[in-house]
Amino acid sequence: MTDPGDGKRLVLTGLFALWVFAFAYAFYALATLEPTGDGFTRGANRITTYLGWQGVAGMAGLAIFAVGQGWPKGATVRTLSRVPLGLALLHVVGIAGIILWARVAV
């Protein structure tokens, strides 16, 4: 199997740039956004913004994984294309764990 062409390389580079931006901006928005609302929902805007940007990063990670599979087995690009998807899955597992922990701890 040969390396994909320049078109796929450009698509993968653009997707990686989108992923880095969305992943980093989720943390930036979480840290700098002022909480709004009263009572129980105070600060929900921060969490929903964080989860929204992580969702964008997760979708970009899935696309990166799909495009990265076009490279030959053992290629560094193919291996690196698994990182964003792995981080997205870790987020899902972490959030599910927090929810389960909160339900059991009550």
- Let me know: does 37 contact 45? Beta carbons within 8 Å: yes
Residue whose entry in the numeric block shows the structure tokens 């105070």: 42
Q: What DSSP line would sit under 9-33, residue for residue?
A: HHHHHHHHHHHHHHHHHHHHHHHHS
Tokens of 53: 């940007």
Q: What is the pLDDT of residue 40?
A: 80
Nearest to 61 by CA among 75, 90, 81, 77: 81
Q: Is the pLDDT of residue 3 over 80?
A: no
Task: List pLDDT tens digits, range 37-76.
Answer: 888 888 888 999 999 999 999 999 999 999 999 999 989 9
The one-letter amino acid at 11? V
Q: What is the pLDDT of residue 69?
A: 93
> How high does pLDDT run on average in the chain?
91
| Mean pLDDT on 80-97 | 94
The one-letter amino acid at 66? A
